[in-house]
Structure 1
Amino acid sequence: MTQSRNLQRLQKRLLGDVGRAIGDYKMIEDGDTVLVCVSGGKDSYTLLSLLMTLQQRAPVKFRLIAMNLDQKQPGFPADILPAYFKSIGVDFRIEEQDTYSIVKEKIPEGKTTCSLCSRLRRGVIYRVAKELGCNKIALGHHRDDIVHTLFLNLLFAAKLKAMPPKLVTDDGAHIVIRPLAYASEADIAAFARGMEFPIIPCNLCGSQSNLQRQKIREMMADWDRRYPGRTEAVFTALQNVVPSHLADPALYDFAGLVAGTVPAAGEGDEVFDLPELPPLSDPRLAFRVDS
């Protein structure tokens, strides 16, 4: 398809985001075989498209294999993704596994299915990656997903924990990467519309409008409307962590702090000061007592 100038600019920006994320976290290296998980949604289509473009330009050689898990959801159009993969010339694997029936059997009506569904999907993906000899698994989570996960864990699980751009699976067999970690959902949505990807909706979890994640999404959308750039600022904060000013004794040796030692840069009390404030040593701040 012929791309408009706006779509070309958008693709360039997204390629820059993905390229920086890959470089910053060393996500893809020479000789890697990357399993790209494609659900049929805007994020995974965009991920595959951008990785295929970077594959042609990158100084390292790596292989891409697209994978879709057909979970046997009622009405799932099983022909769309195989046809799409063939049309763009990517190696692919369609894995059929009836996780839908398991989820519906185990989770009571009206309860959130996401946790069990995600766990079942993860198990299948890891197995397929091993069968295909893939050492990397690429997921389509973006910057907004990472920020939403931070607040989801903060407010509902009492954990200061987000979604890392890169991690090792529990069995140590694979590296999971999120190349869209720097990309905004708005850019991805616009790119997917411009590319006219054959989007497949998720009928299993998409109807659960009362999910906690949806509440977080609405909260962040409201913040971004009132104070533009909040999502980006929160994500940047995840890359600028000061353990000495949190409260986890396993992360920082609070018990070992003693007077008479000079704290490392960024660990003292001046970290609370605004950038424009003068240091306490400034003579203008000296207190004077008149008799």
Structure 2
Amino acid sequence: MSPIVTTVSATHAADSAEHRHSNTFLRLKKKLERNVGEAIGDYNMIGDGDTVMVCISGGKDSYTLLSCLLALRERAPVDFRIVAMNLDQKQPGFPDDVLPAYFESIGVEYRIVAEDTYSIVKDKIPEGKTTCSLCSRLRRGIIYRTAREIGATRIALGHHRDDMLETLFLNMFFGGKIKAMPPKLVSDDGQHVVIRPLAYCTEADITRFARTMAFPIIPCNLCGSQENAQRKQIKAMLQSWAREFPGRIESLATALQNVVPSHLADRKLFDFVNVDQSTKLDEGDIAFDRESLPAVPKQIFPLFPDA
């Protein structure tokens, strides 16, 4: 089977190179790097001496993440190591030469890990069923193992703001939880810190950036599995809101950083049982009052003052 990879013609490549010098693109690049720098600073994602393993799938998000981190490292007054990591899951048609060639072309340290998880998934999951869940679990275990082998103190994933909001609604609609993707967390095995530096970046900006950069995109459908139908529904809903109600998505993203436990209903987060007239709350019974939305303060990470 011939390799499957999104390539660009010589004319398109030349156009992309020209566009990379345009003012519009330079503003977009600066915006993405600024957003990444702010997320790193707000959540203390990277410090002096860290080794950051950046997981690269071959998609637009992870390419953009690597590009931003490399650019920010050049301006940082602290020293941290970046290692690009790709897991070759031996899917039929996977172009295993693309990523090594790309990593070498930009001079980044990298690790390619080959593990035939494709055969395991195909053996365990009935034909026609979504393979993403088992595939993700297997992939996560290999990522953790590789992080230990290279001494990584941070594992950087390419999830962006839209991914986080989609996950919030997936959990609310189908899981009965108010839960999203956090910008920073401890890994399942308790040995690593996982970070999402694209937490403040929009998919639309990433798509425009990746298109102009002409990254060698490898599609995520090589295994034949379709994107989770529920996630597709949520994505379509959010995109519709973005078109019809400007500012709504930004408000939702702000809400993730402005949780008021006393005005929800989780008894584990707030002591509702013992609420009485003497209980002091920052906010009272204003559920139906018109409120102005709080502004989320953005503090640019001091490590990246020019982001």
TM-score, normalized by the shorter chain, greater than 0.5: yes
Q: Distance between the aligned counterparts of 2:150 and 2:115, measured in 1?
A: 17
Give 1:19 shift. 0.4
Residue matched to 1:17:
35
Q: Distance between the aligned counterparts of 2:103 and 2:228, measured in 1?
A: 34
Query: Contact 2:61–2:206 (CA<8 Å) still a contact in 1?
Result: yes
Task: Give 5+ residue unaligned stretches, structure 1.
Answer: 277-291
**Equivalent residue in structure 2 for 1:264, among 263, 281, 296:** 281
How many correspondences in the alignment?
274
**Equivalent residue in structure 1 for 2:60, among 42, 54, 61:** 42
Q: Distance between the aligned counterparts of 2:289 and 2:160, measured in 1?
A: 32
Letter in 2 for 1:270: I
Query: Contact 1:35–1:64 (CA<8 Å) still a contact in 2?
Result: yes
Q: Distance between the aligned counterparts of 2:187 and 2:269, measured in 1?
A: 22
Residue matched to 2:195:
177
SS in 2 for 1:21: helix
Give 1:149 shift. 0.2
SS in 1 for 2:286: helix
Label 1:47 to 1:26 Cα distance change in 2 as closer, same or farther (>3 A): same
Superposed CA offset, 1:175-202 (max 9, x none)? 0000000000000000000101000001
Instruction: State whether structure 2 residue 265 is matched by structure 1 residue 247.
Output: yes
Q: Distance between the aligned counterparts of 1:211 and 1:234, measured in 2?
A: 22
Label 1:22 to 1:209 Cα distance change in 2 as closer, same or farther (>3 A): closer
Two-structure CA RMSD over aligned residues (Å): 1.4
Q: Distance between the aligned counterparts of 2:59 and 2:129, measured in 1?
A: 23
**Equivalent residue in structure 1 for 2:71, among 39, 47, 53:** 53
Give identity over the alignment, percent.
66
Instruction: State whether structure 2 residue 289 is matched by structure 1 residue 273.
Output: yes
Q: Tell me which moved more, 9-18 or 101-110.
A: 101-110
Give 1:229 shift. 2.5
Superposed CA offset, 1:88-145 (max 9, x none)? 0000000001111111111111212111111111000000000000010000000000
Q: Distance between the aligned counterparts of 2:245 and 2:224, measured in 1?
A: 28
Q: Distance between the aligned counterparts of 1:263 and 1:272, measured in 2?
A: 20
Query: Contact 2:92–2:223 (CA<8 Å) still a contact in 1?
Result: no
Task: Give 5+ residue unaligned stretches, structure 2.
Answer: 1-16, 293-307
Query: Contact 1:142–1:181 (CA<8 Å) still a contact in 2?
Result: yes
Higher relative contact order by CA 8 Å / sep ≥ 6: 1 or 2? 2
Query: Contact 1:142–1:182 (CA<8 Å) still a contact in 2?
Result: yes
Higher Cα Rg, which structure: 1
Instruction: Give the TM-score taking structure 2 as reference length.
Output: 0.86
Which aligned pairs between 1:164-243 and structure 2 lie closer than 5 A?
A: 164-204=182-222, 207-208=225-226, 211-243=229-261
Instruction: Give the TM-score taking structure 1 as reference length.
Output: 0.91
SS in 2 for 1:68: strand
